[in-house]
Structure 1
Amino acid sequence: MNGKRRTHLKSVAAGAVLAPVVALALPAGVASAHGYINSPPSRQAQCAQGIVACGDIKYEPQSVEGPKGLYSCSGGNTRFAELDDDTKGWRVTSVGRTVTITWTMTAAHRTSNWQYYIGNTLVDQKDGGNAQPPSTVSHSITLGNFTGRQKLLAVWNIADTANAFYSCVDLQIN
């Protein structure tokens, strides 16, 4: 084997060894993952559309993920704490006793269920059948006896993790 070929083989071997190390050392990109309510416009949809000034959530409205069982718009994620601020100037959607909620899914996780709360009251729940949802999911939600301005908390409970995705919609129930 000549010297030039030996040098080439050493370079290829070194590259093969170093490639995984370099890949692990590089910063991870923003994950395009998960889901949020786009209709009526949720708080994160309003941030993404520039309707309300927000921080990081503007760039990743689908990423409001946290442990199951929370009652916060941010899912307990401090990066998205502005979603919990009820004084921020969120646009309110007028509805009757029912509302159709449409989710946009950017990564379809197997689903236990979707739960919808006003305050700590569960007003509706939809079974996910332990299936992966399509890229868009709509639910007709019954809002019970609530009237006036209300914040609807929507929780997408994932079947294959301990987490859920959170989304809040501000409603004027007539």
Structure 2
Amino acid sequence: MNRKLVAAAVGALLAPVLVVLNPAGIASAHGYVSSPASRQAQCAQHTVQCGQIQYEPQSVEGPKGLKSCNGGLSQFAELNDNSKGWRAAPVGRTVTFTWTFTARHRTSNYQYFIGSQKIAEVSGNNQQPPATVAHQVNLGSHTGRQTVLAVWNIADTANAFYACIDLQVS
């Protein structure tokens, strides 16, 4: 009887340690805009000097409905910093955004915003996407330097993935 209590106590003590030591299983997945290079892609490519996001550009995941480049994650706060020197891709009024996925969740939709204005929404048809997906988005009357917030709303959790893309629209 004593051995069972000791084993249970040891298990109860080790469980939280294992959760803390094994977060990689949680952060090993997901997706980001790879072209034009999103802010996290620029970090991963070392175009801009960044912290932890350079190692996991696919991990900007937060609750659905946010309007921030970092998905509400404090460890990726630098993605919200407009003074960081993000390179703006030269584009026309229509842009093809390419998502790269490391885990392919069933998809509700993809949304694209400039400021608070939604400029496009593409249905995901509650399907699992292929490894890459491209959307052609019309930027409307927006010109000059713009930051597009791209959101991948996944269907199988309450979360979404976020990416900001800096553009110079001619």
> TM-score if structure 1 supplies the norm length?
0.86
The superposition leaves residues 97-129 of structure 1 with CA deviations (integer Å, 9 ceiling, x where unpaired) of 100000100001110000000000000110000
In terms of Rg, which structure is larger? Answer: 1
In structure 1, the residue matched to 2:104 is 108
Q: SS of the counterpart of 1:81?
A: helix
Unmatched 5+ residue regions in structure 1? 1-13
C-alpha distance in structure 2 between counterparts of 1:46 and 1:25, whole Å: 34
Question: How far did 1:33 drift?
Answer: 0.5
> TM-score if structure 2 supplies the norm length?
0.88
Query: How many residues end up aligned between the 2 structures?
Result: 159
Question: How far did 1:161 drift?
Answer: 1.1
Pick from 135, 138, 141: which aligns with 1:142? 138
RMSD: 1.8
In structure 2, the residue matched to 1:158 is 154
List aligned pairs for 1:124-143, cutoff 5 A. 124-143=120-139
Q: Which amino acid aligns with 1:68?
A: K
List aligned pairs for 1:44-55, cutoff 5 A. 44-55=40-51
Counting aligned pairs with the same residue, the percent is 63
Task: Give every structure 1 segment of 4 or more consecutive aligned residues whose post-TM-superposition deviation is greater than 2 Å.
Answer: 20-26
Pick from 54, 62, 65: which aligns with 2:58? 62
C-alpha distance in structure 1 between counterparts of 2:30 and 2:55, whole Å: 13
Q: Which moved more, 1:28-37 or 1:128-137?
A: 28-37
C-alpha distance in structure 2 between counterparts of 1:79 and 1:24, whole Å: 21
In structure 2, the residue matched to 1:28 is 22
Unmatched 5+ residue regions in structure 2? none
Question: How far did 1:160 drift?
Answer: 1.4
1:96 aligns with 2:101: no
Q: SS of the counterpart of 1:145?
A: coil
C-alpha distance in structure 2 between counterparts of 1:166 and 1:83, whole Å: 10
